[in-house]
Structure 1
Amino acid sequence: MSTTDATDSVLLFVGGPLDGRVEVRAARHGDPLPTVTHVHLHDGPKVVHRYDLQPLNDSAGVYHLRTRHGG
Structure 2
Amino acid sequence: MSRAPREETELSDVETAVVDDPAADQEDAVLLFVGGPLDGRVEVRAARHGDPLPTVTHVHLHDGPKVVSRYDLQPLPGRAGVYRLRPAAPRPGRAG
Task: Name the TM-score class by shorter chain.
Answer: 0.7 to 0.9
Where does the alignment leave 5 or more consecutive residues of structure 1 unmatched?
Answer: none
The residue number in structure 2 matching 1:22 is 42
Equivalent residue for 1:70, pick from 86, 90, 93: 90
Counterpart-to-counterpart distance in 1, 2:34 and 2:83: 6
**1:56 to 2:76 alignment:** yes
CA separation of 1:43 and 1:19: change in aligned 2, threshold 3 A: closer
Counterpart-to-counterpart distance in 2, 1:30 and 1:21: 20
**1:42 to 2:68 alignment:** no
Q: Cα RMSD over matched residues?
A: 1.6
Instruction: Select the structure that is richer in strand.
Output: 1
Count of aligned pairs: 67
Shift of the alpha carbon at 1:6? 5.7
Identity value in percent = 81
Which runs of structure 1 show a deviation greater than 3 angstroms over 4 or more consecutive aligned residues?
Answer: none
Provide the TM-score with structure 1 as the length reference: 0.84
SS of the residue corresponding to residue 33 of structure 1 reads: coil
Where does the alignment leave 5 or more consecutive residues of structure 2 unmatched?
Answer: 1-24, 92-96
Greater RCO (CA < 8 Å, at least 6 residues apart): 1
